[in-house]
Amino acid sequence: MRGFLASSIGVATAAVLALPLALPTPALAETAPVTPAGSTQSLPLVPLGPSATRTPGVPGMSASAGRPETQGLTTREVKTFSLVGVVWDDATTELHGRVQVRTRSTRTATWSDWQDVETHNGEHAADLDAAERGSRQIRGATAPLWVGESDAVEVRVQAEPGAPTTRAPSRLPTGMRIELVDPGADTPTTGSDGKNTGPDGDGKGEVAVPAMSMGTAEASAANVPHASLGANEITALDKADSTADAVFASDGELTAAAAPYIGPRPRIVTRKGWGADEGLRESGFVYTSTVKAAFVHHSASGNNYACKDAPAVLRSLYRYHVISNGWRDFGYNFAVDKCGTVYEGRAGGVSKAVLGAHTMGFNTNSMGVAVLGTFTSTAPPAAVVDSVARLTAWKLGLFGRDPRAKTTLTSGGGNLFPKGKNVSMNVISGHRDGFATQCPGTKLYGKLPTTRTTSAKLQGRP
């Protein structure tokens, strides 16, 4: 695939140089106004007093002597937001405790019940020696939670209590803040399913391309020749056409072993299609040498979204990953919504070996696929399982990988395997196979054997 990478980078460079520079992204205020590009409000958490001082009728958490440390935010009216998460200063510090939020809907003006926010302790992140850890302040963070359009919030975080006689209560990380993310409006040419709704209305993204920023042109050009510059989607192809497309895109450098087993390419909504603000991410792309494995994740952001809202969920996750977590770009290489639509994730080209920040320790030579939702106790829809199988059949096929096979990855360091250890993995693995985490949720993880079998069948393997 080296010829493909080089030729595509050249196309991207030429396209970018022909377009005007984008204006710099302005600094974000704590209460930034709602804009089409989205916004983030970042509010510090403070120690909470005894429950008697809390909002009447709301269960309180006391921070009295001898009790676990508690921080939070009392009832606060804010600018409109749709996704929440808690971050803290040091990404190497773990949060041991319970994080809960409740929010007020702008549609109904009613408060939600208290909702748990899943705590993450490094498992979704760049590898320890990755370039993005050196160029940015990487923060510790919970999972993000999609709450829908809201205009008020209350937060409480309680440290894990100590054992009665053997251990003191845990201490909360320093610098904790609640991040309130507004995804912004859909772009004028993007419908709720990511399809093009421009003048020709055919959903193929083949309309006149308006002037694009350098970042947008760069990201779009990375998918040429699979789609035209400025396309909102990459169309689905059958198996024969997918093979021909891959051979053409790689300048004929696909191995003889890989070519017969490239699965049919699924329809993929591009970053432009879901409205990614390319001014947020770092410019340029980082590639690894190949793709040996696919790690399946769930976003842990909840299932309370309609499929038409998936582009807004993605824009919120993207802003949370970059602005709040400090990553260089969206963490996952691909996302799949609960209706089975596949989306391009981290920029750099859907058919290329783009380095992500999805499975700390195993981002090199792998790809990350996040299913939007939480699948700890909720089973993933059949459309999700089918789409993950189709996506992996195509992408793994480009690199000659059998979805039913094992592969060896070298750990970059994590809580299961020390840095430098060679680890045998399934070619299609769950996040928990590489890191001590519940991701991708018990119900989705249980579907991976079916996914491997279906993916291999789609590749045409005996």
What one-character-per-residue DSSP string does 14-77 give? HHHHTSPPPPPPPPPPTTPPP-TT-EEEEEE-EE---GGGSPTTS------TTSPPEEEEEEEE
Q: Are residues 440 and 406 in the same domain?
A: yes
Q: Is the pLDDT of residue 285 over 50?
A: yes
pLDDT score of 380 more than 50: yes
- Average pLDDT score over residue span 200-209: 43
Mean pLDDT of 76-96: 94
Q: State whether 71 and 110 are in the same domain.
A: yes
User: Domain boundary at 128, 156, 182, which?
Assistant: 182
pTM, two decimals, is 0.85
**pLDDT-based confidence at 25, cuts 50/70/90?**
very low
Identify the band that residue 168 occupies on the pLDDT scale cut at 50, 70 and 90: low
The per-residue pLDDT for 73 is 96
Tell me the average pLDDT across 171-180: 96
Tens digit of pLDDT for each residue in 44-82? 999 997 543 444 444 444 444 446 799 999 999 999 999
Highest mean pLDDT among 5-9, 124-128, 211-215, 223-227: 223-227
Query: Which is more confidently placed, 423 or 166?
Result: 423
The pLDDT assigned to 173 comes to 94
In this predicted model, which residue has the larger pLDDT, 187 or 178? Answer: 178
Domain termination residue (choose one: 141, 166, 182): 182
Confidence label for 111 from pLDDT (cuts 50, 70 and 90): very high
User: What pLDDT, in 10s, does the model give residues 316-352?
Assistant: 999 999 999 999 999 999 999 999 999 999 999 999 9
Residues 46 and 152 both lie in one domain: yes
Core vs surface per residue 259-269: b (16+ CB within 10 A) or e: bebbbbbbbbb
Domain end among 182, 201, 229: 182
- Residue 269, token pair as written in the block: 């909504």
**Whether residue 176 is found in the same domain as residue 192:** no
Residue 287's DSSP bridge partners are 354
Q: Name residues whose C-beta falls within 8 Å of residue 398's C-beta, 6 or more positions apart in sequence.
A: 1, 246, 254, 258, 262, 291, 351
> Is residue 27 assigned to a domain?
no
Adjacency order of strands within the sheet including 342-344? 233-234, 268-269, 342-344, 334-336, 366-371, 293-298, 428-430
Q: Are residues 260 and 374 both part of a single domain? A: yes
Q: Is the pLDDT of residue 120 over 50?
A: yes
Looking at residue 189, what is its pLDDT?
45
Q: Could you tell me the two tokens for 408?
A: 């060896």
Provide the pLDDT for residue 210. Answer: 54
Note whether residue 226 is domain-resident.
yes
- Residues 285-307: what's their mean pLDDT? 96
Least confident of 3-17, 222-236, 399-413: 3-17
The pLDDT confidence band at residue 31, using thresholds 50, 70 and 90, is very low
pLDDT of residue 360: 84
The pLDDT of residue 130 is: 67
* pLDDT score recorded for residue 327: 92
Q: Are residues 193 and 171 in the same domain?
A: no
Average pLDDT over residues 235-264: 86
Whether residue 25 lies inside any domain: the answer is: no
Look at 2-11, 419-428, 435-444 and tell me which has the smallest mean pLDDT.
Answer: 2-11
Domain assignment present for 21:
no
Q: Which residue has the higher pLDDT, 422 or 192?
A: 422
Kindly report the average pLDDT of the chain as a whole number: 83
Q: What is the pLDDT of residue 249?
A: 80
pLDDT recorded at residue 156? 97
In a domain, 119, yes or no: yes
Average pLDDT over residues 108-123: 87
pLDDT at 196: 41
**98 and 220 co-located in one domain:** no
Domain CATH code at residue 50 = 2.60.120
- Mean pLDDT computed over 37-49: 93
Same domain, 121 and 212: no
Compute the distance between CA of residue 211 and CA of residue 67 in angstroms, rounded to an integer.
58
pLDDT band at 202 (very low <50, low <70, confident <90, very high): very low
Residue 29 covered by a domain: no
pLDDT higher than 60, residue 261: yes
In 168-314, at which residue ranges do the beta strands (DSSP E only) sit? 177-182, 233-234, 268-269, 293-298
Q: Does residue 104 fall inside a structural domain?
A: yes
Same domain, 159 and 199: no
Q: Angle at the Cα of 453 (from 451 to 422), degrees rounded to 5? A: 80
Q: Which of 90-99, 385-394, 423-432, 450-459 has the lowest mean pLDDT?
A: 90-99
Whether residue 438 is contained in a domain is answered as yes
Instruction: Name the percent of the chain lying above pLDDT 70.
Output: 77
Is 276 within 8 Å of 330 (Cβ atoms)?
Answer: yes
Same domain assignment for residues 372 and 260: yes
Both tokens of 138, joined, read 């990487």
Domain that holds residue 157: 39-182
Same domain, 142 and 206: no
